[in-house]
Structures are given as structure tokens and as C-alpha cells.
Chain A
Amino acid sequence: DQQVKQNSPSLSVQEGRISILNCDYTNSMFDYFLWYKKYPAEGPTFLISISSIKDKNEDGRFTVFLNKSAKHLSLHIVPSQPGDSAVYFCAASLPSGGATNKLIFGTGTLLAVQP
């Protein structure tokens, strides 16, 4: 049972345009949501997060939106750059054993930014 879903396996956008990556979840107990970026043969690197008590968080070109009623979040990248081409993972955090974070990952979306 996949609690975090990224239904688009891939996305292609033109350089300078907006990239919108989507993520849906089923567990209302998730209290934090995170986006990670992954290049081939490397580990995931953290991009941006949002608490479940907020609906938007912005960091430079990256903005994450959370719609709790729809159990949906999205990552907006604007303007998109060729260096943004990577696999993007959505992750949700469950409270687990005090301060420990248990991350549940989606299956990823491959973003290709065309020059």
C-alpha cells in the first residue's frame, strides 16, 4: 500500500518555464512533507520541506504548496534550469519514537529541463 504517490513518472519542461511536480498522500498522520532531488549514482539531497500546519513554503526558485483537504502537495520550480534535471522524490514524515523521523517516499518523478 503506497501511502505517498507521485503519479507522473516523468516531466519535460523548457528552460525558463515553470516546473510543477505533484504528490498525493493517504495518511492524515503525516506531519511534515519534504522534497528531495536525486542525480544518478548519488544519494537524495534535501530541497525544501513544509509542516502540515502550513500551506506554502518558499525558498528561492522552489515553492511547495500543501492542500491538506485534498491530501496533495506540489513543488513549483521557477524559472526551471537545465541543472534542475533530476529525479524528484516527495516524502512524508511520520512521528516515530520521539524525535526520529520516519520518511515515506514516493516513487519519484524524472524532470527533464530542455535548454
Chain B
Amino acid sequence: DTAVSQTPKYLVTQMGNDKSIKCEQNLGHDTMYWYKQDSKKFLKIMFSYNNKELIINETVPNRFSPKSPDKAHLNLHINSLELGDSAVYFCASSPQGRGTEAFFGQGTRLTVV
């Protein structure tokens, strides 16, 4: 019974393409996130949504656009993919409240060739 699920798990695509990664959580959480883990293993926050409202938008190229159709879903759309976008992207969710832990999906490994 998966709590935070991402699809696809692996994604290989050519430079210049547009791709989407989907995320769904069945935990009833109000807040969802996208994190990126790069080749140096740094895990950095990209976006955060609370009840479909954008809360955090880190310094991310505007080729990356998150979309939250409802509070259980947060999808990530990437336009004009570049080699440097290759990374593992993690979706996460957390309940309301400070200090509450985030629950992560299994990650999507994106490879741009």
C-alpha cells in the first residue's frame, strides 16, 4: 500500500524534449514537495505546495513547472530538457505542522541524452 508514489521510476529522453513526472500521495497530507538529488548526491528542495498553493519556489529554471490539480497530486513538468537536468527527482509529502517529517516517494531517475 504505497504512501507516496511516483511515475515513471526511470525516464530516458533526448535533449530538448518535454517530459512530466507524476506524484500521488494517499496519506491525506496537505503539503507536497519536489526534491532533486544531483550527481554529487546533494538533495535539494525545488518546490513546495500546501493545499494546491505554491509555498516554496527555490531558484529553479522556469523550464520546471509544478502543477497540483488537488492536494493529493503534485506533478512536475520539464520543458526543453538539458543534459544538466539528469538527476533523481523525489516527491514527498508531509502533514501540517512544524517539524513533521516528510514521506518520500521512491524517486524518478531522469537521464537526458
The number of inter-chain residue pairs (CB within 8 angstroms) is 72
| Chain A interface SS verdict (over half) | strand
Q: Does A100 contact B48, Cβ atoms closer than 8 Å?
A: yes
Q: Among residues 33 to 54 in chain B, which have CB atoms less than 8 Å away from a CB atom of chain A? A: 35, 40-45, 48, 50
Interface size on B, residues (CB 8 A): 29
A42–B94 Cα distance when bound, in Å, is: 18
Chain A residues near B48 (CB, 8 Å)? 96-97, 100, 102
A108–B38 Cα distance when bound, in Å, is: 13
Chain A residues near B90 (CB, 8 Å)? 43-44
A1–B16 Cα distance when bound, in Å, is: 30
Chain B residues near A41 (CB, 8 Å)? 106-107
Best-surrounded residue of A44, A51, A93, A97 (most CB of chain B within 10 A) = A44
A98–B104 Cα distance when bound, in Å, is: 21
Q: How far is the CB of B25 from chain A (nearest CB, A)?
A: 12
What residues make up the interface of A, taking CB atoms closer than 8 Å to B?
31-32, 34, 36, 41-46, 49, 51, 89, 93, 95-105, 107-108
